[in-house]
Amino acid sequence: MYRLLLIAGLLVLFYYLLRRAILEIKENGGFLSRTEGHTKGNQMVQDPVCRVFIPRANAVREEIGGQTYFFCSRGCAKVFQKQLSN
């Protein structure tokens, strides 16, 4: 008898947890939408010159030859442009 009550209680708990998760997913528009907004600015990018990783939001952005590059400083961007011109 106790087993049946325990199983019923666990099923009710599972139902409410699953229902809550589904409602939260519907409100946020999917699984990845919550993390996508946060990681775009915090995504790490690598400087092609000195190979350090920096947050994309803090990086120096340069478009060179139709491609976008991210640098840790203007100095690295100038060095990269010199290397491409050689």
- List, for residues 36-56, the tens digit of each pLDDT value: 555 555 799 999 999 999 999
What is residue 40's three-state secondary structure?
helix
Confidence band for 12, pLDDT divided at 50, 70 and 90: very high
Taking residue 81's Cβ as centre, other Cβ atoms within 10 Å add up to 13
Which pLDDT does position 42 carry in this prediction? 74
What is the per-residue pLDDT across 53-79, written as a single tens digit (0 to 9) for each?
A: 999 999 999 998 889 999 999 999 999
Domain coordinates in residue numbering, the chain: 1-31, 42-86
Please determine, for residue 33, whether its predicted confidence score (pLDDT) is greater than 60: no
What pLDDT does residue 74 have?
A: 93
* 64-73 b/e (C-beta count within 10 Å ≥ 16 → b): eeeeebbbbe
Residue with tokens 């030859």: 65
